[in-house]
Amino acid sequence: MKFAHIHLASVSVLSVLALTILAACAPVTPPPTAPPATEPVSQAPVYELFEVADGIYSYGNGFIYSGIVVTDEGVIVIDPMSSQHAALTLEAIRGITEQPMRYVIYSHNHWDHIGGGQVLKDAGATIISHVDARDWLVEHPNPDVVVPDEVWEGNRHDISLGGKTIELYFFGPSHGQGMTVTRFAEDRIVFLADIVTPNRVGFGNLPDFFPAEWERTLTEVEALDFDTAMFTHQEPSGPRSAVTQQREYIQDLRNAIFAEFQKGTPFLEIPNVIELPKYKDWAGYDDWLALNAWRVLMEIAIGW
Ligand SMILES: [Zn+2]
């Protein structure tokens, strides 16, 4: 393959430098007082409840959204986010139903999605996650994050509650550990945490994303039967085409990097010369495109 030959030639010279850069970016455990990673600290967020389908809601503030499922046998929440967010979510639930809390589903291991589970556990919920997320949480405790009560293994686990079938899928690594795609079968809706954020380029330097596996996972999501996707950032829900657009963005970014290899652009200059005009109206384009390009470039270069 032509591209592989060109990029490997460039990489051999610079791999030591690349590794140095990665070492400098090694994750550091933030203090408990660190502000939420995905919310601006200077604005007071306004929370809203969106009914996506009968009994299926998105609840959030323009920056983060949880999923809520209300059935005749109880309530399920996907991603409590933080103690404050979970308390507001519980208040919103009590505004629409007296049904008991039954489950909290963790979408993946990241603290910014699963803080505050104790609030919903105190209200009666059993917390469930994929085993990979639980195992990571045991190794990386956080004072606001509760280790799940139950885990599931393998690629599929179904929960039936009050006439709704909640299908949990694990497609392998894509972002974080134990990334779970949830499908509400009867309503033809999927809930996607972090792996699809509509009309926005990837978040920052794509923390804990594995771009090639992320892209592959999105093809698996596209093969599911659904009409509507729910998101945890940017917008509460949208059409299934948002999944395809997210996958195409990753592919377009990788192809743009390969094009720079062909042109002979110096390796370290590539992230700063990448342009993807098709996405210029997406949020984060000016600030994050180069950071996204660094992540994809590094995966091409060193395999991670
Ligand atoms: Zn995440």
Predicted TM-score (pTM) of this structure: 0.86
- By mean pLDDT, which of 2-11, 55-64, 135-144 is the weakest? 2-11
Q: How many domains does the chain have?
A: 1
* Cα-to-centroid distance, 269 and ligand 1 (Å): 28
Ligand 1 centre to CA of 142 (Å) is 15
Residue 2, pLDDT score: 36
Cα–ligand 1 centroid distance for 174 (angstroms): 10
The mean of the pLDDT values for the chain is 90
Q: Is 280 inside any structural domain?
A: no
- Distance in angstroms (rounded) separating the CA atoms of residues 117 and 104: 7
Backbone angles phi, psi at 169, to 5 degrees: -120, 140
Residue 10 pLDDT class (50, 70, 90 cuts): very low
- Residues 20-35 have pLDDT tens digits of 333 333 334 445 556 5
**Residues of 258-297 as b/e, b for ≥16 C-beta within 10 angstroms?**
bebbeeebebeebbeebebeebeebebbeebbebbbbbbb
Q: Which two tokens stand for residue 60?
A: 């959030």
How many A from CA of 175 to the centre of ligand 1? 6
In a domain, 302, yes or no: no
- Position 215 in a domain: yes
Question: Quick check: is 132 in a domain?
Answer: yes
Domain assignment of residue 42, yes or no? no
Q: The CATH number of the domain where 216 resides is what?
A: 3.60.15.10
Ligand 1 centre and the CA of 89: distance in Å? 20
- Is residue 180 one of the residues assigned to a domain? yes
For residue 25, tell me if it sits in a domain: no
Residues spanned by the domain of 114: 48-247
Tell me if 77 is assigned to some domain: yes
Q: List, for residues 85-105, the tens digit of each pLDDT value.
A: 999 999 999 999 999 999 999
